[in-house]
Structure 1
Amino acid sequence: MELVSGETIDELLQAQTHIWNHTFHIIKSMSLRYALQLGIPDVINSHGKPMTLSELVAALPVHPTKTHHLYRLMRLLVHLGFFAMQKVADNHFQEGYLLTPVSLLLLQDNPSISRPFVALVLDPILIETNNCMSTWFQNDDPNPFVTVFGEPIWEHASHEASVNHLINRTMASDSFLIGRAVLVKCKGVFQGLNSLVDVAGGTGNMAKAIVDAFPDLKCTVLDLPHVVADLQGSKNLNFLGGDMFKAVPPADAILLKWTLHDWRDEECVKILKNCKEALVTRNDKQGGKVIIIDMVVGDQDDDDKFTETKLLFDIEGMSCLVGKQRNEKEWANLFFSAGFSKYKINPVLGPRALIEVYP
């Protein structure tokens, strides 16, 4: 059968376009990186109204000879939804650039900024790790990061301050946003609790959001000693250096935000068993619960965008971690293997879900 014919040519041209667009996906990522490196979102925000191309060039560290090239970059970023166009008030023949809800998350002074996440994923360290993926498939290393750097990412971060800073900033910025989302979407999961341990809680932004909403709740952030060494607590929030694989402090509830997907099944079961042992029997004679914020792959209610996000996260995690993004059956297997009796999944946090797990 002839591959290229009058009957197949349109289908083949569509297929070629599909291949091109996915091959050029990295251009989307790098264009976003260029915009952040040049400071474009903050400059447009400071302008306070639609900003013309000439105004943008004048305000950025861009050489005047690159004006048309900046226009080409902005044309793509507008198409991708990072910026919008609007007529300028005093000149209806001219258009200016505006921020969108997406670019609001990229502002430097926004506490829930996504800039650290972009910086981490597009850092040369992780780019180099991804470049080594095909080599890793042919050896027995636990992940490509180990193939490149000879040690796991967490050990690398413990003695490389820049990597540790990137990871901590990323987790902190995400915790600020998801902490508030949880309190809007499912605040009731924390009601009635007297104590909470945020396991692998990093710099504590998630815990701070919770204790601000529940000032009578005593919260402990547990993380590795080098992560919490210089962090100061408050009246109802304290930081504890430790190892979740060894022990978790006792509490009414244990929180695991975006943690278990980092680890293999056997390691997750160990963490969950430690969490179960830490749960105290409350006044109502019931045991506490473990609260998990993570992705559940294959949710029937997912739209294509959420499905793609979960699958991309899974491959990115494969490059530098030993865990995976799990479907409901895989999550249930972890819970029951750790001795828990039931769970409830609340898919209300975008591509992530809040999962309550009970002894």
Structure 2
Amino acid sequence: MESQKNEENVTSNLLKAQSHIWNHIFNFINSMSLKCVVDLGIPDIIHNYGKPISLSKLISLLPIHPSKTCFIHRLMRIMTHSSFFSQYNVTENELEIEYMLTDASILLLKDNPMSVTPFVHAMLDPVLTNPWHQFSTWLKNDDPTTFETTHRMLLWEYVACDSKFSNLFNESMASDTRLVTNLLIEKCRGVFNGLESLVDVGGGTGTMAKALAKSFPQMEFSVFDLPHVVDGLQGSENLNYVGGDMFKEIPPTDAILLKWILHDWNDEECVKILKNCKDAISKKGKQGKVIVIDMVLESEKESINESVETQLFFDMLMMVVLAGKERNKKEWIKLISSAGFSDYKITPILGLRSLIEIYP
């Protein structure tokens, strides 16, 4: 009897192991199904309908070939399982099942000011997904990134020479910035108390700086990025654009903002950036600070919940695409002290990311 029970346990464990492997093999199906839903505009169709929409009605509003209508139920089933939609009036007749948006799919609405749709388009574009097929090849060569193994150039070089992908990438960053800025202004206004000026380093076209300039009219804001990024951009009464290289020198200011910048770079490069930040705020002759918005890996947690897994996904993305990394608290402290700063404050208030204030 004991032997039979052991055999059953072995069989059960074997089947569980197989299922675990299969789930990881087919994880990409969730991503590509999500991309399909966004491409078809399904969240917007449901939202514009204004009430729970039946599958039959949804199909009638989709831009699909008549021969493909029978497949939409299966697409909606996997997306409902993944919590992008909720179901009502569930019956045996699948055409009568009704769907509504969830918090996740509301963020996929194109007209939502905090829409993450551009981020979906950019991150799942073949330019960024193809390098994953070269991951093991990259580990066997001396290329800086898997992206370079695939495209024979660094990401920033690719962005500079491919206008279509550049627009896609820049809009994805801007869409994320809009969401973060809204939370920053709403939850963390005190971070800007007493500051007269701020430089948004690597601020792109100024999505965050524009919102901050509007909310804090008493402050002076500058967007500091590579000359070709800011060339021709028009500022406002308390906002201007400055071209330059953060690895060489950063304009003097009371405070510096680094939103999703440091995770792009290795430790040595981050220390160089932070030292230039320290020089910039020291030139003003009073106590300033560096404001970092980035992930702090929850590496000490024993259980891997969804948020921790997402952070680990981002760490792998940084390794494959940019030769950067996400960091845990100890790694952040090491960077901060290596750059000559004396104090810091970490506030985990921005979901997967934290607000890190660094003081000279």
Please give the range of the TM-score, normalised by the shorter of the 2 chains: over 0.9
CA contact (8 A) 2:56 2:96 kept: no
Cα distance in structure 1, aligned partners of 2:144 and 2:173: 23
CA contact (8 A) 1:343 1:358 kept: yes
CA contact (8 A) 1:281 1:287 kept: no
Amino acid in structure 2 at the alignment position of 1:113 = S
Amino acid in structure 2 at the alignment position of 1:26 = F
CA contact (8 A) 1:57 1:64 kept: no
Structure 1 counterpart of 2:159: 157
Q: State the Cα RMSD in Å.
A: 2.0
Amino acid in structure 2 at the alignment position of 1:352 = R
Structure 1 counterpart of 2:338: 337
Cα distance in structure 1, aligned partners of 2:206 and 2:196: 18
Structure 1 counterpart of 2:235: 233
Aligned equivalent of 2:48, options 36, 46, 49: 46
CA contact (8 A) 1:52 1:97 kept: yes
Q: Which stretches in structure 2 are left out of the alignment for 5+ residues?
A: none
Amino acid in structure 1 at the alignment position of 2:165 = V
CA contact (8 A) 1:295 1:352 kept: yes
Give % identity: 52
Cα distance in structure 2, aligned partners of 1:139 and 1:13: 36
Per the TM alignment, residue 7 of structure 1 is displaced from its structure 2 partner at its CA by 2.5
Per the TM alignment, residue 70 of structure 1 is displaced from its structure 2 partner at its CA by 0.4
Cα distance in structure 2, aligned partners of 1:270 and 1:345: 21
Cα distance in structure 2, aligned partners of 1:334 and 1:37: 41
Amino acid in structure 2 at the alignment position of 1:28 = N
Structure 1 counterpart of 2:214: 212
Per the TM alignment, residue 249 of structure 1 is displaced from its structure 2 partner at its CA by 0.8
Cα distance in structure 1, aligned partners of 2:80 and 2:205: 34
Per the TM alignment, residue 85 of structure 1 is displaced from its structure 2 partner at its CA by 1.6
The answer to whether 1:83 aligns with 2:93 is no
Higher mean C-alpha displacement, 39-48 vs 5-14: 5-14
Cα distance in structure 1, aligned partners of 2:287 and 2:299: 28
Secondary structure of 2:53's counterpart equals: coil
Provide Cα deviations, 1:229-265, integer angstroms capped at 9, x if missing partner: 2322111111112111111111110000000010111
Per the TM alignment, residue 281 of structure 1 is displaced from its structure 2 partner at its CA by 6.7
Cα distance in structure 1, aligned partners of 2:33 and 2:160: 31
Aligned equivalent of 1:273, options 269, 272, 275: 275
1:260-299 matched pairs, under 5 angstroms: 260-280=262-282, 286-298=286-298
Cα distance in structure 2, aligned partners of 1:335 and 1:203: 27
Aligned equivalent of 2:186, options 184, 200, 211: 184
Per the TM alignment, residue 300 of structure 1 is displaced from its structure 2 partner at its CA by 5.0
Structure 2 counterpart of 1:120: 122
Cα distance in structure 2, aligned partners of 1:281 and 1:188: 23
The answer to whether 1:222 aligns with 2:248 is no
CA contact (8 A) 1:54 1:67 kept: no
The answer to whether 1:106 aligns with 2:75 is no
Cα distance in structure 1, aligned partners of 2:242 and 2:113: 24
Amino acid in structure 2 at the alignment position of 1:258 = W
Per the TM alignment, residue 125 of structure 1 is displaced from its structure 2 partner at its CA by 1.1
Secondary structure of 1:227's counterpart equals: helix
Q: TM-score, normalised by structure 2?
A: 0.93
Structure 1 counterpart of 2:355: 354
Cα distance in structure 1, aligned partners of 2:124 and 2:7: 41
Cα distance in structure 1, aligned partners of 2:133 and 2:112: 32
Provide Cα deviations, 1:128-187, integer angstroms capped at 9, x if missing partner: 111111100000111111111222110111111122112211110011000011122221
1:296-307 matched pairs, under 5 angstroms: 296-298=296-298, 304-307=305-308
Cα distance in structure 1, aligned partners of 2:224 and 2:304: 35
Cα distance in structure 2, aligned partners of 1:299 and 1:187: 29
Per the TM alignment, residue 87 of structure 1 is displaced from its structure 2 partner at its CA by 3.7
Cα distance in structure 2, aligned partners of 1:46 and 1:234: 36
Cα distance in structure 2, aligned partners of 1:49 and 1:181: 29
Q: How many residues align?
A: 352
